[in-house]
């Protein structure tokens, strides 16, 4: 009997380890161009696919599922899965997965990178050096925010928020957190004496506010003019989660008017575009959605996505399936 090799489509080139793992038992086709597919190209490319690995920038919705009638599994190359209509996939009996855990440390490290860079004005002052306009050391030059002993507020304390909080130990920071489920994070409470507080209280008490909540209808525009006003004027906002959690026009205005002191952003409301005026501000650090962009995290995401898809197509338990009930 000929070996049955399921057809898999991968919407963008991924680290080779993941592609090799798939290729051992599937016929794999990869988007040959190093650019995102247009929606029309994506829908055409998946017409014969039994399995797909896709990106957070692609919508996996009813129209996508209609365009892929042979689909038996979809693996998201991301931990966030607001791009997937999980209910629709479940209704059609199609398992879908994401890539938690393997990018937790990398993303928490990037949140710290943004926090420290915004606190100490790293990007603004790097630009001064490059422009040749530095006049030499001065007692009042480029003063920034203190970090040690200041309060860290986590909006959402899941895997990444917890990792970020644990990394704060060297900075001796009181830790506050919110929980949309209302569930306590016992690890943080035990290890760091972290305090579960209402959102408004977290905003009022924190010197650094870091966003670690998924994007859902209830977290969209959680940060907007009215809530930004509840933060300290000396506070810094860090977002490595999803752009639309912050109303970016309101944030740009708040940064311009000194409502808050600074921000460090890795994600945007309308990627790859920036809100009007944001790029002109000195008190914001802007990174191109690179939270998981380390060699190890991206390799391990590729391996995890491949393992999920292989289990969906060949049998077995996908390690991080979002709708495991469809497999029963």
Cβ-based nearer residue to ligand GLV, 79 or 237: 79
Nearest-approach distance from CB 97 to ligand GLV, in angstroms: 12
- For the window 194-223, what string marks contact with ligand GLV as x by the rule CB under 6 A? ------------------x-x---------
Strand partners, 178: 155
Helix (H) or strand (E) holding 192: helix 186-192
Q: Is 301 exposed, middle or buried (0-12, 13-18, 19+ CB in 10 A)?
A: buried
Give the DSSP per-residue string, 162-173.
Answer: HHHHHGGGGGT-
Active-site residue flag, 298? no
Produce one character per residue of 61-77: b if its CB has 16 or more CB atoms within 10 Å, e if not.
Answer: eeebbebbeebbbbbbb
Cβ-based nearer residue to ligand GLV, 239 or 292: 292
Tell whether residue 80 is a contact of ligand GLV (CB under 6 A): yes
Nearest-approach distance from CB 120 to ligand GLV, in angstroms: 25
* Segments in 95-153 forming alpha helices (H): 104-119, 122-131
Tell whether residue 322 is a contact of ligand GLV (CB under 6 A): no
Active-site residue flag, 109? no
d(CA 36, CA 31): 9
Tell whether residue 104 is a contact of ligand GLV (CB under 6 A): yes
Cβ-based nearer residue to ligand GLV, 51 or 158: 158
Sign of CA dihedral 90, 93, 94, 99: positive
d(CA 49, CA 71): 6
- Taking CB under 6 A as the binding criterion, the range among 135-143, 154-162, 194-202, 215-223 that sits at the site for ligand GLV is 154-162
Tell whether residue 54 is a contact of ligand GLV (CB under 6 A): no
Cβ-based nearer residue to ligand GLV, 56 or 311: 56
Nearest-approach distance from CB 229 to ligand GLV, in angstroms: 27
Size of the site for ligand GLV (CB under 6 A): 15
Nearest-approach distance from CB 161 to ligand GLV, in angstroms: 6
d(CA 44, CA 10): 13
Q: Report CA 311 to chain centroid distance, whole Å.
A: 25
Tell whether residue 60 is a contact of ligand GLV (CB under 6 A): no
C-alpha torsion angle, residues 204, 209, 215, 220 (rounded to 10)? 40
Tell whether residue 247 is a contact of ligand GLV (CB under 6 A): no
3-state DSSP of 51-72: EEEECCCCCECHHHHHHCCCCC
Tell whether residue 243 is a contact of ligand GLV (CB under 6 A): no
Give the DSSP per-residue string, 195-209.
Answer: EE--HHHHHHH-SEE
Tell whether residue 78 is a contact of ligand GLV (CB under 6 A): yes
- Taking CB under 6 A as the binding criterion, the range among 46-54, 99-107, 169-177, 243-251 that sits at the site for ligand GLV is 99-107
Tell whether residue 100 is a contact of ligand GLV (CB under 6 A): yes
Interaction site with ligand GLV (CB under 6 A): 56, 78-80, 100, 103-104, 158-161, 212, 214, 291-292
User: Which residues belong to the active site?
Assistant: 242, 271, 289
């Amino acid at each position: 009997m000929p070996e049955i090799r399921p057809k898999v489509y991968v919407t963008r080139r991924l680290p080779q380890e993941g592609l090799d793992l798939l290729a051992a038992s599937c016929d794999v086709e990869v988007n040959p161009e190093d650019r995102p597919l247009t929606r029309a190209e994506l829908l055409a490319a998946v017409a014969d696919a039994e399995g797909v690995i896709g990106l957070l920038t692609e919508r996996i919705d009813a129209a996508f599922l209609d365009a892929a009638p042979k689909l038996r599994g979809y693996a998201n190359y991301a931990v966030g899965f607001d791009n997937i209509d999980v209910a629709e996939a479940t209704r059609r009996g199609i398992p879908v997965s994401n890539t938690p855990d393997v990018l937790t440390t990398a993303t928490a490290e990037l949140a710290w990178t943004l926090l420290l860079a915004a606190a100490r004005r790293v990007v603004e002052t790097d630009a001064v050096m490059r422009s040749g306009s530095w006049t030499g050391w001065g007692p009042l030059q480029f003063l920034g925010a203190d970090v040690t002993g200041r309060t860290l507020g986590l909006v959402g304390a899941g895997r990444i928020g917890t990792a970020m909080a644990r990394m704060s130990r060297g900075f001796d920071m009181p830790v506050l957190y919110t929980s949309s489920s209302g569930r306590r994070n016992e690890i943080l409470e035990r290890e760091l004496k972290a305090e579960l507080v209402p959102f408004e209280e977290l905003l009022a008490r924190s010197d650094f506010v870091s966003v670690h909540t998924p994007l859902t209808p209830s977290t969209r525009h959680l940060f907007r003019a009215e809530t930004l006003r509840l933060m300290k004027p000396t506070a810094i906002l860090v977002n490595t989660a999803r752009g639309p959690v912050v109303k970016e026009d309101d944030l740009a205005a708040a940064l311009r008017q000194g409502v808050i002191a600074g921000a460090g952003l890795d994600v945007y409301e309308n990627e790859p575009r920036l809100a009007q005026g944001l790029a002109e501000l000195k008190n914001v650090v802007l990174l191109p959605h690179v939270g998981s962009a380390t060699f190890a995290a991206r390799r391990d995401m590729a391996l995890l996505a491949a393992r999920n898809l292989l289990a969906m197509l060949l049998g077995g338990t996908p390690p991080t399936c979002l709708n495991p009930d469809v497999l029963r």
